[in-house]
Amino acid sequence: MSTWRIALLVAGKDLRVERRSRVVTNQVVPFAAVTMVMFAFALDADAVLQRVAPGLVWLATLFSLLVLVQRSYAIETDDGALDALRVAGVDPAALFWGKALALAVQLAVLEVILIGTAVVLYGAEVRAEGLVLLVTTLVTATCSLAVVGTLYGGLAAGFRGRETLLPLLVLPVVAPVLIGATRAVEAALGTVPGAVVSEGWPWVGLLAVFAVAFGVGGTLAFGPLIDE
Amino acid sequence: MTQTSTAPRSSDPGPQRAARRPGTGTTATRVLGGVTLVAIGWLVAFGLGFSPADRDQEESVRILYVHVPTIWVAYVAFVVTAVCSGIYMFSRRHSLGWDRAAGASAEIGVLFVALTLLVGALWGRLTWGVFWQWDARLTTTALLFVTYIGYLAVRRLGGSHHQRARRSAVIGMLAVLLIPLVHWSVRLWRSLHQEATVLRTDGQVRMDGLMLFSLFVGVIAFTLIYVWLMLHRTRVMAMEDALDDHGLEEALAARRAEGDRPDGER
């Protein structure tokens, strides 16, 4: 079987597990939503909330990413499934892309819900001219977060203390994604006074470079990381 | 079973070991340590004594002679970490010596970044009026600091020496990939830090001659400190690894000896 075929199978397996266990819908999405409400309590004023809405959406996404990555590897390591996959001779690169794909799908769903929440709770508005930028940003940022999460999650998988180690490793790494995605969404939604849509595109470029760099890095490094 | 397993193994090479002096110092490191001390004295003399006060920043400019060398050493240390990690991963022998060098270098790098941030905050308070500014270079440095703290945490995850080496080598190399991306993104975000004055692209240095000389003394002194720390830390790590391996053997031998006792066989 080709690498892509195996990757799709792995992704399908992860998504099926999630659909049946309903952890994402019953726990992760409510967690992200409650985070958004907590931000409102912390920042208080309506005008401030509308201004910082894109940043808060991405912060909530990052926190949820940590939960999702833990979850994604917990189902692998609990029953020794990761070892079984390796024994079955699954190409590590295919495993990496499969898990990243499944994570990306979950993240994308979550981001759409969070932007909807920002529209309802914070009064952010999605404007027609920024729609292309918004969708492109969501796609590239999701890819970046998924590859980084899969790579570092695989590193910490199966070790005691991984719950505390993962945020320490992942958050500094995704700082460029947070900056880039926040600025791009600000430009797309026009939450900052005088923001024009074209200002967002350089940030999408940054996100794309990030996704490619860590995608290649992850493909090469995932084998040595889990092969022990 | 046999005679060797009943006798405690440690008694065999014991007297020879005890005769050797414990520690990580050799003649070379002692000479290097002496030279380093002289260089530090030289730096104190030039940094606090001979070099002039600045027209705008007055005496506080003397922080420069620590601030710039510490970050210089930190960058060198992280590059060494990445290079050693790469050599470990791609060489055929996968020698643990390279892994230990990478780890030691990262530890010293983290120490020096912490010093840079601390000293920089003090200097910022004196010249800008605030401890911290969200400018590009400061933010990048802070993220660099956290990234390598993560690297050190990965080194302590446990497992065999080669597992540790492989994991940390991957992180060590990814960190180098990350730094330009972080710097680029934060540069786009905002910038306030003064432009580089010494390493300028047009080749002209805008600095008083004696101040520049003091700065070079600082760089030399801190680089010597780095090399000295590096030699000792690598040796300590080699000893720790040896203790891990050897300690297990000792414990196994002791257990076997217990099992071989006549009253143990029922």
* d(C-alpha A117, C-alpha A133), whole Å: 19
Q: Is the pLDDT of residue A37 over 70?
A: yes
Tell me whether residues B189 and A221 touch, CB distance under 8 A. Answer: no
Q: How far is A189 from chain B (nearest CA, A)?
A: 18
B-chain CB neighbours of A173 within 8 Å are: 147, 174, 178
Q: Is the pLDDT of residue B266 over 50?
A: no
DSSP annotation string for A110-175? HHHHHHHHIIIII-----GGGHHHHHHHHHHHHHHHHHHHHHHHHHHTTSTTHHHHHHHHHHHHTH
DSSP annotation string for chain B? --HHHHS-GGGTTHHHHHHSPPSS--HHHHHHHHHHHHHHHHHHIIIIIISPPBTTTBGGGGGHHHHHHHHHHHHHHHHHHHHHHHHHHHSSS--HHHHHHHHHHHHHHHHHHHHHHHHHHHHHHHHTSSS----HHHHHHHHHHHHHHHHHHHHTS-S-HHHHHHHHHHHHHHHHHHHHHHHHHHHHH---SPPPSSS-TTS---S-HHHHHHHHHHHHHHHHHHHHHHHHHHHHHHHHHHHHHHHHHHHHHHHHHHHHSGGG--
- Whether B91 has its CB under 8 Å from any CB of chain A: the answer is no
Mean model confidence pLDDT for chain B: 80
Closest alpha carbon within chain A to B90: A224
Read off the pLDDT of residues B123-154 as tens digits, 9 standing for 90 and up. 888 888 888 877 777 888 888 899 999 999 88
Closest alpha carbon within chain B to A213: B177
Read off the pLDDT of residues B188-202 as tens digits, 9 standing for 90 and up. 776 545 555 665 555
Read off the pLDDT of residues A165-220 as tens digits, 9 standing for 90 and up. 888 889 988 988 998 899 888 888 887 777 777 788 888 888 999 999 999 988 98
A13-42 burial, b for 16+ CB within 10 Å, e for fewer? bbbebbeeeebbeeebbeebbebbeebeee
Instruction: Identify the pLDDT of residue B5.
Output: 40
User: Strand, helix or coil at A71?
Assistant: helix
- Whether A160 has its CB under 8 Å from any CB of chain B: the answer is yes
* Domain spans in chain B, listed from the N-terminal domain onward: 28-49+61-193+209-241
Instruction: Identify the pLDDT of residue A74.
Output: 85
B-chain CB neighbours of A175 within 8 Å are: 143, 182, 185
Read off the pLDDT of residues B49-91 as tens digits, 9 standing for 90 and up. 887 777 677 777 788 888 889 998 999 999 999 999 999 988 8
Closest alpha carbon within chain B to A184: B189
Instruction: Identify the pLDDT of residue B20.
Output: 56
Q: How far is A191 from chain B (nearest CA, A)?
A: 17
Of A188, A197, A37, which Cα lies nearest the Cα of A114? A37
Percent of chain B surpassing pLDDT 90: 28
A-chain CB neighbours of B147 within 8 Å are: 172-173
Contact B223, B73 (CB under 8 A): yes
Of B153, B167, B182, the CB nearest to A175: B182
Closest alpha carbon within chain B to A202: B188
Listed as own residue / partner, the contacts of A164-170 with beta carbons closer than 8 Å and 24 or more positions apart are: A165/B150, A165/B153, A165/B154, A165/B157, A166/A66, A166/A69, A166/A70, A167/A66, A168/B146, A168/B149, A168/B150, A168/B153, A169/B150, A169/B153, A169/B154, A169/B171, A170/A65, A170/A66, A170/A69
Give contacts of B 45-64 with A, CB under 8 A.
none
Q: Which of A148, A169, A177, A203 would best serve as a mutation to test chain B binding (most B beta carbons within 10 A)?
A: A169
Backbone angles phi, psi at A223, to 5 degrees: -60, -60
Banded pLDDT at B3 (limits 50, 70, 90): very low
Token match 């001779």: residue? A89
Tell me whether residues B153 and A168 touch, CB distance under 8 A. Answer: yes
Mean pLDDT of A79-102: 87
Between A40 and B17, name the one with better pLDDT: A40
Size of interface A-B (CB pairs under 8 A): 78
Read off the pLDDT of residues A49-68 as tens digits, 9 standing for 90 and up. 888 889 999 999 999 999 99
Read off the pLDDT of residues B223-246 as tens digits, 9 standing for 90 and up. 999 999 999 999 999 988 888 888
Q: How far is A184 from chain B (nearest CA, A)?
A: 12
- Angle at which helix B161-189 crosses helix B136-155, to 10 degrees, equals 170
* d(C-alpha A97, C-alpha A92), whole Å: 9
Closest alpha carbon within chain B to A208: B181
Q: Is the pLDDT of residue B185 over 90?
A: no
